[in-house]
Amino acid sequence: MSNIGSNADGLTASPSGACCAPLASVSLDPAAAADMAKMFKAMGDPVRLRLLSLIAAHPEGEVCVCDLTDLFDVAPPTISYHLKLLREAGLVDHERRGTWVYYRPMRDRLYRLSALLAAPDLTGIPK
């Protein structure tokens, strides 16, 4: 973070000069990368990815935690811990209604990640 200028799009133009290739054109700047990485990291655990998938796949658009715990081989506190990480990564939202707690996917954030991966240059800007 010194000779690299960035803009509001979270992109960075790399400096030229190297051993064998011209320049790195445009790519994610460190700040944007950190935010994206947090989301990817949250999905980087099999239990959390399955949790996210189950939440996103639910026809009602939300899932009660009580419906999730039985599907895994880990104890309820562990499920709670993973859901917390998914929340902190901004991938799911939650709401308490009565005794139960319901989780919803945050689709705008998921689409943003999808767009990042769909862009040939991984800049987050498709097309």
* Residue numbers at the binding site for a copy of itself (CB under 8 A): 1, 4, 14, 18-22, 24-28, 30, 33-34, 36-38, 40-46, 48-50, 52-54, 56-60, 63-64, 66-67, 70-71, 73, 100, 105, 107, 110-111, 113-118, 120-123
Residues comprising the chain, all counted? 127
Helix/strand/coil for 41: helix
Candidate segments 7-15, 52-60, 81-89, 105-113, binder of DNA by CB under 7 A: 81-89
Cβ-proximal residues to 122 (8 Å cutoff; 6+ apart), any chain: 27, 28, 116
Q: Where are the beta strands (DSSP E) in 1-127?
A: 5-6, 11-13, 26-28, 63-64, 92-97, 100-105
Bridge partners, 97 (sequence order): 100
- With beta carbons less than 8 A apart as the criterion, state whether 106 and 61 touch: no
Q: Which does 92 bind (CB under 5 to 8 A by kind): DNA, a copy of itself, none?
A: none
Torsions phi, psi of 35, nearest 5?
-65, -45
When asked if residue 85 is in the footprint of DNA (CB under 7 A), the reply is yes
**Segment 23-52, which members bind DNA (CB under 7 A)?**
41, 44-45, 47-48
The only residue of 35, 53, 84, 118 in contact with DNA, by rule CB under 7 A: 84
Summarize as ranges the residues that interact with DNA (CB under 7 A).
19, 41, 44-45, 47-48, 64-66, 69, 73-85, 94, 96, 98-101
